[in-house]
């Protein structure tokens, strides 16, 4: 019964926050300076007449005739039917299409990297915390401190230069081979091949933090009486490490992992720029520069949605892992 | 049955050594209720952990032996230790939320040692868990609970039941009731006494509350700055304490008959345990101290039926 109450409670909270996020997403771009219609037309030359601008406004759904409330309801309706309007920047390509060509790449690259980094970092952190007095533990600690101090942008460039340019092991740009048209399995291989360097960069950039967080959690859990009792019982080292120490130490990391997962959708701007990877980060960057409201709005919508969804999932995972939350 | 011989232990701390257990020896016999009392920080917990081979880095045992039925616990291999632990000697830690693993059901964290180390089947293990919980007055339906669903007193009873699982000969208890309110404390102490009579184990009971020991213990040891300064029959030590520190502790006890003004606490603080202590460790707080106390360290000697380390005798 308590579990059900918890689930309903979380779902309710999710719905409310999503509603607020949606509303903010509607309001904020409308208070930004500049006229998007003018901006688009400006690309076609310096002399634009008033009528053309007005026509463009109507096409963009920004005409003054419609009240704000009507605009708002239209916005809600469009958002839920996946109709995000037309991108100013890529005019006349619909936002939907722009996202369809970048979102999957970002989800694949950044999502996979985040998950790998979390799992690897957490495992190393468990080990480093458990063996903190031994050489292996100190080794991992030093390794993670080094990782943390590396500038991530610089690392991306270095990888690109060494493994891509100098050694030629990996491609320099793009998400898949553009030289030939590949299908099925060979296409997947090509995608993985192109993702190696950027995902290595992303993993290296976040791994150190996961290791350190987990190591710290482990060390504070190891001071608890139940660990001493487990040792006094003569239980095996591996069993205590996993079932008594790590099982408790991972709880604080779960929330942080949820947040990272939520922000996957916003892409990884620097990596995408360095590796010319067709992801959302780069699209968002360009959209902001050219005030492409529909695109910005759509990306923000997906970011809010995924942050909230990731949180919801982590709340459920947390409740599954920690009986105290269930009540 | 359980014997500690010349144990020295402590912690490596910023290039210094906190010598928290100094040459301590004691012997626990069948049916003993052996109490160890001393101020906070005098090394009681370190003594217990070192005696059980549980002292972790930066803690370190420098020398000494711990004999359990003839075996030296500190020299056993991991595999041999597995067989001795919990079966010959178990322990109860300070009562609080963290003596139980918060993410494991009560029955599972009790049964795991039976299943993994002592060849129990799952159903046999749960059966034994149920039986031992009954012994401390916890109903079987609580087996499915998680620790946070139990009250502080119940949690501590679970820990006691856990210590009883393999019917060990000796159970160490490190301040098992300090975190509980007085009423619960009473009922748990009473239960410990009853269980001891029924199950015939010996107890090593560690506390800073010496008054508890005078009620419960058969033998007591007074610990000061890492050393035992007086060891003997509880009734004897209480009625005729010899060491000035023991006297001070007894005089500092609150009692209903005494006026508040007559309370005497012992002035001063114990010495720094990182230093090598010349002479008697208590001399600076002792009103009987004389020249010899400064230069010569008093050894434990048998005086008037108990052991005491003091130059006065
Ligand atoms: N991990 C550690 N590193 C360094 N010194 C420590 C460590 N743990 C304990 N000590 C020191 O060792 C001494 C003995 O500590 P111990 O915990 O054994 O005392 P105690 O008698 O159990 O005290 P309490 O009644 O407060 O539990 C203290 O001076 C303490 O400061
Ligand atoms: Mg202690």
Tell me: the pLDDT tens digits for A288-320? 888 787 888 888 889 889 999 999 999 999 989
Instruction: Give Cβ neighbours of residue A77 (< 8 Å, ≥ 6 apart).
Output: none
A34 has a pLDDT exceeding 70:
no
Count the Cβ atoms, other than its own, within 10 Å of residue B132.
Answer: 22
Closest CA to B161 of B175, B176, B148, B182: B176
Residues B232 and B220: beta-carbon distance below 8 Å: yes
Q: Looking at the complex, does the CB of residue A238 fall below 8 Å from at least one CB of chain B?
A: no
B202 has a pLDDT exceeding 90:
yes
Residue in A closest to B165 by C-alpha? A233
Q: Which of A229, A230, A323 sits opposite B103 (nearest CB)?
A: A323
Q: Looking at the complex, does the CB of residue B93 fall below 8 Å from at least one CB of chain A?
A: yes
Residues B271 and B256: beta-carbon distance below 8 Å: no
Burial class (CB in 10 A: 0-12, 13-18, 19+), A225: buried
What is the predicted pLDDT for the residue at A43?
63
B260 has a pLDDT exceeding 80:
no
The structure's pTM equals 0.86
Residue in B closest to A221 by C-alpha? B98
Q: What is the mean pLDDT of residues B56-76?
A: 91
Q: Which is it for strands B33-37 and B227-233: parallel, antiparallel or unpaired? A: unpaired
% of chain B residues with pLDDT over 70:
96
What is the predicted pLDDT for the residue at B8?
95
Distance of alpha carbon B73 from alpha carbon B51, whole angstroms: 8
B95 has a pLDDT exceeding 80:
no
What is the predicted pLDDT for the residue at A118?
96
Lowest mean pLDDT among A51-60, A104-113, B189-198, B285-294: A51-60
Count the Cβ atoms, other than its own, within 10 Å of residue A64.
Answer: 8
Q: Looking at the complex, does the CB of residue A225 fall below 8 Å from at least one CB of chain B?
A: yes
Local structure of A111: helix, strand or coil: helix
What is the predicted pLDDT for the residue at B226?
93
Q: Whose CA is nearest to atom 14 of ligand 1?
A: B43
Closest CA to B50 of B37, B32, B62: B62
A64 has a pLDDT exceeding 80:
no
Q: Whose CA is nearest to atom 10 of ligand 1?
A: B11
Instruction: Tell me whether 0.85 is exceeded by the ipTM.
Output: yes
Judging contacts by C-beta atoms under 8 Å, the chain B residues touching residue A224 are: 98
Determine the Cα angle at A184 with ends A180 and A186, to 5°.
Answer: 55
- Residue B63: which pLDDT band, with cuts at 50, 70 and 90? very high
Q: Which of B85, B98, B148 sits opposite A224 (nearest CB)?
A: B98
% of chain B residues with pLDDT over 90:
63
CA of B91 to the centre of ligand 1 (A): 18
B285 has a pLDDT exceeding 70:
yes
What is the predicted pLDDT for the residue at B209?
85
B45 has a pLDDT exceeding 90:
yes
Average pLDDT, chain B: 90
B122 has a pLDDT exceeding 90:
yes
Local structure of B177: helix, strand or coil: coil
Burial class (CB in 10 A: 0-12, 13-18, 19+), A46: exposed
Q: Looking at the complex, does the CB of residue A66 fall below 8 Å from at least one CB of chain B?
A: no
Could you give the C-alpha distances from A55 to A41, A48, A62, B288, in angstroms and in order? Answer: 11, 12, 10, 104
What is the predicted pLDDT for the residue at B261?
58
pLDDT in tens, A217-229: 999 999 999 999 9
CA of B24 to the centre of ligand 2 (A): 16
What residue ranges line ligand 1, CB within 6 angstroms? B 11, 13, 18, 20, 38, 40-46, 58, 208, 273
């Amino acid at each position: 019964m308590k579990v059900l109450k918890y689930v309903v409670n979380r779902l309710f909270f999710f719905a409310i926050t999503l509603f607020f996020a949606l509303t903010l997403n509607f309001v904020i771009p409308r208070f930004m300076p500049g006229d998007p219609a003018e901006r688009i037309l400006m690309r076609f030359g310096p002399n634009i007449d008033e009528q053309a601008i007005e026509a463009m406004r109507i096409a963009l759904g920004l005409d003054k005739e419609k009240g704000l409330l009507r605009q708002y309801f239209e916005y809600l309706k469009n958002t839920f039917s996946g109709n995000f309007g037309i991108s100013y920047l890529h005019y006349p390509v619909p936002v939907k299409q722009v996202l369809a060509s970048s979102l999957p790449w970002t989800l694949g690259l950044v999502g996979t990297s985040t998950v790998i980094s979390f799992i690897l970092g957490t495992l190393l952190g468990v080990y480093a915390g458990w063996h903190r007095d031994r050489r292996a533990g100190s080794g991992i600690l030093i390794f993670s401190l080094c990782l943390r101090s590396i500038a991530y942008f610089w690392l991306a460039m270095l990888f690109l230069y060494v493994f891509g340019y100098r050694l030629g092991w990996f491609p320099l740009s793009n998400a898949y081979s553009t030289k030939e048209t590949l299908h099925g399995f060979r296409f997947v291989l090509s995608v993985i091949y192109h993702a190696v360097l950027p995902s290595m960069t992303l993993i290296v950039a976040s791994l150190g933090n996961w290791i350190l967080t987990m190591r710290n959690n482990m060390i504070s859990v190891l001071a608890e009486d139940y660990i001493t009792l487990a040792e006094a019982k003569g239980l095996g080292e591996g069993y205590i490490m996993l079932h008594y120490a790590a099982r408790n130490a991972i709880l604080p990391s779960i929330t942080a992992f949820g947040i990272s997962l939520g922000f996957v959708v916003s892409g990884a701007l620097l990596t995408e720029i360095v590796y010319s990877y067709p992801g959302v980060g780069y699209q968002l960057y360009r959209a902001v520069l050219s005030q492409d409201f529909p695109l910005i709005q759509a990306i923000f919508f997906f970011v809010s949605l995924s942050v909230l969804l990731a949180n919801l999932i982590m709340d459920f995972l947390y409740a599954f892992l920690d009986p105290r939350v269930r009540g | 049955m359980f014997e500690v011989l010349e144990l020295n232990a402590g912690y490596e701390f910023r290039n210094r050594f906190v010598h928290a257990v100094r040459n301590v020896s004691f012997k626990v016999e069948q049916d003993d209720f052996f109490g160890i009392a001393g101020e906070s920080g005098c090394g009681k917990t370190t003594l217990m952990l070192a005696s059980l081979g549980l002292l972790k880095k930066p803690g370190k045992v420098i020398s000494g032996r711990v004999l359990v039925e003839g075996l030296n616990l500190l020299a056993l291999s991991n595999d041999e230790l597995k067989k001795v632990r919990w079966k010959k000697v178990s322990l109860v830690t300070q009562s609080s939320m963290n003596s139980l693993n918060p993410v494991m059901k009560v029955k599972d964290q009790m049964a795991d040692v039976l299943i993994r180390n002592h060849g129990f089947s799952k159903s046999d293990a749960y059966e034994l868990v149920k039986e031992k919980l009954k012994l401390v007055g916890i109903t079987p339906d609580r087996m499915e609970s998680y620790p946070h669903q139990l009250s502080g007193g119940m949690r501590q009873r679970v820990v006691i039941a856990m210590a009883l699982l393999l019917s060990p000969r000796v159970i160490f208890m490190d301040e098992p009731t300090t975190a509980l309110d007085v009423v619960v404390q009473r009922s748990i102490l009473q239960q410990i006494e009853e269980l001891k009579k029924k199950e015939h184990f010996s107890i090593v009971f560690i506390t800073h509350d010496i008054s508890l020991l005078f009620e419960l213990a058969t033998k007591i040891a007074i610990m000061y700055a890492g050393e035992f300064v007086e060891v003997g029959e509880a009734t004897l030590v209480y009625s005729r304490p010899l060491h000035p520190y023991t006297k001070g502790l007894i005089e500092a006890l609150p009692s209903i008959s005494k006026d508040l003004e007559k309370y005497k606490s012992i002035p001063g603080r114990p010495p720094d345990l990182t230093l090598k202590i010349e002479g008697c460790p208590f001399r600076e707080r002792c009103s009987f101290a004389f020249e010899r106390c400064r230069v010569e360290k008093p050894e434990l000697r048998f005086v008037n039926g108990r052991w005491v380390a003091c130059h006065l005798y």
